[in-house]
Amino acid sequence: MTVLVLGTGNPGKLREMQQYFEADSPWTLELKPPEIDVDETGTTFLANACLKASETAIATGKWSIADDSGLAVDALDGAPGIFSARYGVDDADRIARLLRELSGKETRSAQFVCAIAVASPDGKVVIQEVGICPGEILHDVQGDGGFGYDPVFFVPEAGMTYAQMPDEVKRRLSHRGRAFEKVMPQLGAISDRL
């Protein structure tokens, strides 16, 4: 098994990412050590994912994977974007701000974006992929699953919000699922060469 250090200290993110790795995967995921702190100074999701993967790989001397994701709303010129997690003090506050800022706007199209980067132990980024799930922002919360903006993000393809989706549907249709669909074959090719 080859260790793939996750460029985050969040155990919830670790559990979420493990869902994309098969039981017989040659990779084993582990959280980065808490003393490694990477400043997300990039101006795009992909830049931040690359920063986290590269700096974590260099600090640990191991393969590293990192993601950066968020919500981009067309009528708000892509906001909250890379600031999605900092758009309010908690999920309810972030949703309230989003709905307030969209008040009176006809266009409610949006997309969830997930950028994933993988770096080799020397810090070189060898995989960069982006997954996008198009949708729209509802006027009211629907569903009680998920987290963040999930209750107001409606996916026409599924006919429901992220918060209403069964886990297996969300895994397949979500921005993270779409990004991992591109990343996993490349990780397989790397493990074949190790």
Amino acid 10: pLDDT: 79
- Residue 1 pLDDT grade (very low, low, confident, very high; cuts 50, 70, 90): confident
Entry pTM: 0.93
DSSP string, 139-181: SS---SSSSTTGGGEEETTTTEEGGGS-HHHHHHHSHHHHHHH
Specify the DSSP class assigned to residue 74. Answer: G
- Residue 154 pLDDT grade (very low, low, confident, very high; cuts 50, 70, 90): very high
CATH code matching the domain that covers 2-193, chosen among 3.90.950.10, 3.40.190.10, 3.40.50.720, 3.30.930.10: 3.90.950.10
Active site residue 68: yes
Distance between CA atoms of residues 66 and 130, nearest Å: 12
- 188 pLDDT above the threshold of 80: yes
- Please, is 112 exposed, middle or buried when counting C-beta atoms within 10 Å of its C-beta (0-12, 13-18, 19+)? buried
Catalytic residue among 68, 77, 90, 192: 68
